[in-house]
A and B are shown apart, each in its own frame.
Chain A
């Protein structure tokens, strides 16, 4: 990375541009109320006023411009009106449309004026349909506002003698992009305005697909070299990190600004190109958290690409996350997606598979708490003197009930209009229909959370209560009641001697698979939602691995106290697909084998196998290659999604403070690897020191 880029990156990381921000959000409620605007027109008014209020910032060494200066998104309704509007309805998370993916190619290939022409033509055609006209007018208002913002940027650039930037902004986003730089600039501005309109988890989709034609022709024409193209790409990536502290999310950084690379084209050819590799290299060299990268692979993906991806993993950002096309595409098809659309999937903010420009899907309406289902069934079932089968039946019923509660809550879902976002969705302008009224795909996703702990609890129950009979059901219930206080031998047995998920153990894994089958059955039984979609079951846990253990304000699911896997009250569950915390597993191979048993043709909403390796494990070229082989093994075993983490200082420090949570953390010590937690403190300190100096 050259010096100019390093400076630019460091400046953005230091947040110097934040001093340019305005102090308070603008006020638009007055305008909305005085003009008695409808909801769609209020949203359009919001987009326009935000664009008008943006201050133009052109930094001396920047070529991809736009720096957000507005600190927030103002309300378009008074609290009273809003309450009235939403009474009896369910809002998803914060309310605005989020976590979907635009078809950015519509922008790049048609330009905003091209999209406006479509809107105007449709408006003429549907002149007698007031709702359509109102939507199209709203969309046109937002397009005009963005064009004016771009014109102000062009003027300022010219004023500052930055002719190149001015020329580009004269052309994009109004017209179709002609060069790689124009395409990046057009995307930067329009994606930022989507954020500015209050949407969040605004993904970037198949970036290496829709950007490649521009880059490819620039390279062929000799306008760019690989090196100069990488510099532009790096500038674009840096710009994506500027405003991320203003994005809403559970944690900062949880902003869903993802892009998805590789995979196959809609016709089934390999979609990997030079830009795919370039993105992996630039992201590795920049080491910034945005954009977050997903890489679509298959059993046939070559080791060189996986090796390059592993080099990105090594720097410890927690991506790329891998999805397996061999599994995901057929699963989407069997859930009603057209083959060409399925081949075009991207990964949403976290894990879920969505189709750019064609989905108004709410992929995470909530989580089914497997620990609660299992725990309640065990407590009630043992008291009622059920046999093991009887308890399993209760678990199935409980999961079914949870699905119905979630489904019913979301049958009252209220999605706000989104005229500007709709500009980049297939068919909205063409049919005069806001995306909130539905797109081609309108499914909901629901995750089964914390399956490993729940399956381990069932496995322990089966072995110790029903088979060995080494623990009586009375003792077990009493032990759970008092959080194992005074029952340490029982707890030790449950925690350490039973079959566990993650060790390729037939008993524990079968029970885990059954939980997911129950979930899939329940979703199928639920049938269609009022929005015409289905419920897609998945394997993610999001923050539920903490929330289900400790509780959280507004959480629907019950807190689960001490559990039969030997987990004490308050101790967290394991994340996504990973062994329960504290379980000692033989390693990554057994873990992949365990999770390969899930029927991913039914469980198709995503949720990664989450695996942590110390960054000291893959330091040389040979071990990078072996890690790449491990990723290939993930695909060959038919698993669905993989998140491979290289551990950094923070994790090691946590391992030191809470060793029980990191029993499987492997560190390279000398000519050997060892478990971090089994090293004496001074040696841990030494490794922490080493990592500290090694980290960027």
Chain B
């Protein structure tokens, strides 16, 4: 029996997939995106989270059976409402053994994997195979720029993207639009190019940047240091996707 660490369970997460969903946030992420809005999800370790609402520990360890039992209490309700469970983070791939075991212990329910795509191929396969739908983040196609803004290169991510398509699993690509970083015409064109022939692609969700990205850093005892201009107007180029025949929504 494995155990894992999660930093939150949020019910009625209405923007985390179809129907009424409960989202499990896995703690720990290999990336450190400059615009990350869940900084307490980055470290694997429990950490003190101080806010106006008081002090609490973000990060709780669960045994797989313990978490599955908790979630199983409500899967009937989620199923009844066209929804299910979403595993997000942090990065679920980083705790793939744990997540896979939890999913195996769950009653029949729609599973959505919300991932950055950064992880080992076998971990990725394991979780994708256990999911009904995948939300896959795609941020930057240029490897060097990717490295600069996320702390990782994107080779694994792009490889997993193609693997995802080969596995025949339906997926949604989510692109956070960060002004002057991910919303450049070049990057968006590269994304379109990357997605052009992927048959499992359901649609692209564009997530416009909001200045609240940095709001939780202080509470998590961390520092928010964007090197881009947060106030810069976004290049919300929907047409680029539509011209390529890709369905796109702005979330």
Contact = CB atoms under 8 A, between A and B. Distances in A.
B11 A586 contact: yes
Interface in B199-222: 205, 207-219
Interface string A653-696: 00010011011000011111111011111110011000000000
Contacts of A22: none
B53 A675 contact: yes
Given A593-B74, A660-B53, A587 B82 contact: no
Interface stretch (B12-20, B98-106, B183-191, B240-248): B12-20
B12 A588 contact: yes
Given A504-B73, A636-B80, A659-B53, A680 B251 contact: no
A259 B13 CA distance: 32
Contacts of B19: 626, 629
A352 to B, nearest CB: 28
Contacts of A680: 214-219
A326 interface: no
B51 A659 contact: yes
Contact of A678 (B9, B53, B209, B214): B53
B221 to A, nearest CB: 13
Contact of A593 (B15, B53, B73, B209): B73
B52 A659 contact: yes
Contact of A670 (B10, B37, B74, B80): B37
Please indicate which of the listed interface residues B9, B10, B176 has the most CB atoms of chain A within 10 Å of its own CB.
Answer: B10
Contacts of B73: 504, 593
Given A504-B73, A589-B11, A626 B20 contact: yes
A680 B215 CA distance: 5
B174 to A, nearest CB: 7
B81 interface: yes
B219 A587 contact: no
Interface residues on A, range: 35 or more
A590 to B, nearest CB: 6
Interface string B173-184: 010100000000
B22 interface: yes
B78 to A, nearest CB: 8
Given A629-B19, A633-B81, A680-B218, A588 B11 contact: yes
A531 interface: no
Interface residues of B, number: 43
A334 interface: no
A617 B215 contact: no
B151 to A, nearest CB: 20
A573 to B, nearest CB: 18
A628 to B, nearest CB: 10
Nearest to B8: A586
Contact of A584 (B22, B56, B82): B56
A633 B213 contact: no
Contact of B20 (A504, A589, A678, A681): A589
Contact of B22 (A589, A623, A660, A683): A589
A296 to B, nearest CB: 21
A406 interface: no
A669 B77 contact: no
B82 A672 contact: no
A632 B77 CA distance: 10
Contacts of A617: 14
Interface string A593-624: 10000000000000000000100011000110
A195 B38 CA distance: 55
A564 B128 CA distance: 46
Nearest to B73: A504
A154 to B, nearest CB: 54
B215 A679 contact: yes
A668 B212 CA distance: 10
A669 B37 contact: yes
A152 to B, nearest CB: 55
Contacts of B22: 586-587, 589
Given A633-B81, A683-B215, A673 B20 contact: no
A471 to B, nearest CB: 20
B54 A633 contact: no
B29 to A, nearest CB: 15
A668 B215 CA distance: 13
Contacts of B80: 633, 636
A662 B53 contact: yes
B67 to A, nearest CB: 12
Interface in A627-645: 627, 629-630, 632-633, 636-637
A686 B215 CA distance: 11
A590 B11 contact: yes
B82 to A, nearest CB: 7
A19 to B, nearest CB: 45
Nearest to A617: B14
Given A588-B11, A662-B53, A663-B53, A683 B81 contact: no
Nearest to A670: B210
Given A659-B51, A670-B207, A671-B207, A589 B77 contact: yes
Contacts of A674: 37, 212, 215-216
Interface in A86-112: none
Given A587-B11, A662-B53, A669 B207 contact: no
B54 A582 contact: yes
Please indicate which of the listed interface residues B20, B73, B205 has the most CB atoms of chain A within 10 Å of its own CB.
Answer: B20
Nearest to B35: A670
Contacts of A671: 15, 174, 176, 205, 207-208, 251
Given A589-B74, A629-B82, A633-B80, A673 B52 contact: no
Interface of B: 9-15, 19-20, 22, 37-38, 49, 51-54, 56, 73-74, 77-78, 80-83, 174, 176, 205, 207-219, 251
Closest 6 CB pairs of A and B: A587-B11, A670-B210, A671-B207, A659-B52, A677-B53, A683-B215
16 contacts: A588-B11, A589-B77, A590-B11, A613-B12, A618-B14, A626-B19, A626-B81, A637-B77, A662-B53, A669-B37, A670-B208, A671-B251, A673-B15, A674-B216, A679-B51, A680-B217
Given A588-B12, A679-B212, 18 more contacts: A504-B73, A589-B74, A630-B20, A633-B20, A670-B208, A670-B210, A670-B213, A671-B174, A672-B38, A673-B14, A673-B15, A674-B212, A675-B51, A677-B52, A678-B52, A683-B215, A686-B211, A687-B212
